[in-house]
Amino acid sequence: MDTPTPARSLSENDVLEAAARLVGAFSRTDTEEYFAAFAPDATFVFHTEPARLESRAEYEALWAFWLTEGWSVSACESTDAHVQVYGPSAVFSHTVLTTAGTPGATATTRERETIVFVRSGDRILAVHEHLSPVPDPGFSLEPADAGAAESADAAVTPVVVVA
């Protein structure tokens, strides 16, 4: 019985190159090259979709529908790249500024994206992609008058209940 050979570790450069190919194909609306970057069982979480896409084929069907509507990407810029390598897998995150849409109805979006890559033989494939909107610059979870609330809380004696 043959012992399986462990997968070679990825390097940061491997991941950056794989991400650049994927983003480049997306920016050209190059369907074949774009989907070749994903494993068949890849999953996708997009804030614009009501549910997780459970496979590359499911995403390809959605993409094909968009194309029939005249959709395409006219620009996609990746910034703030960050790579975390975990042996033969890695997490790549970045910010993307994308201009896409149908003729006469394009929009530019700024989103954060995380892509999980794995080494599969000699290839590096994406197995999960998560896209979320970048919050407005003024967004904060802190209340507008957080300083006043902290001052008011300082005068309150905490109560601890032990059951």
pLDDT digits (tens, 9 = 90+) for 77-106: 999 999 999 999 999 999 999 999 999 999
Q: For 6, left (φ over 0), alpha (ψ -120 to 50), or beta? A: beta
| pLDDT above 50 (res 156) | no
**Rounded distance between C-alpha atoms, residue 38 and residue 54, angstroms:** 12
Average pLDDT score over residue span 53-75: 97
| pTM for the full predicted model | 0.81
Of 3.40.190.10, 3.10.450.50, 2.130.10.10, 3.40.50.300, which CATH number belongs to 12-135?
3.10.450.50
Yes or no: say if 59 and 43 are a contact pair by the CB < 8 Å rule.
no
Percent of the chain exceeding pLDDT 90 equals 75
Element (H, E) at 93: strand 89-102
pLDDT of residue 138: 73
Name the residue ranges covered by the structural domains of the chain: 12-135
**Rounded distance between C-alpha atoms, residue 15 and residue 115, angstroms:** 10
| Burial state string for 27-51 with b = 16 or more CB within 10 A and e = fewer than 16 | bebeeeebbebbbeebbbebeeeee
Yes or no: say if 10 and 117 are a contact pair by the CB < 8 Å rule.
yes
